[in-house]
Amino acid sequence: MNETSIGHDDTGAGYSHGDMDVSAHAASYRLFGTLTKWGSLGVAVLVLMLVLWFCIGAGFFGGLIPGLILLGAGVYFLRAKPVRNHDTE
């Protein structure tokens, strides 16, 4: 008997390589990557602002200005890059 304890056929007879639509998986992966990237930038900016404001005692603007500089640099470096066409031949 080729049945597992949960009733699935483990022979692989129903599997056909390359027939599965993975567009939903690819979209979820892109969304996860995007949210992780921008969320990490937001957390880094918030931590920098709060550390400078409260731990070092630089004051509100002493934390806000470096936080805005980090935010601007992060947006510049993390933005979506244009896709290049590699078919130049």
| Predicted TM-score of the model (pTM) | 0.69
Give the list of residues 6+ apart from residue 52 with CB closer than 8 angstroms, or none.
58, 62, 63, 66, 67
Enumerate residue ranges in the chain where pLDDT < 70: 1-15, 86-89
| pLDDT at res. 57 | 84
| pLDDT at res. 5 | 54
Residue 55 located in a structural domain: yes
Q: In the chain, how many domains are there? A: 1
Residue 24 located in a structural domain: no
Write out the residue range of the structural domain in which residue 43 sits.
39-80
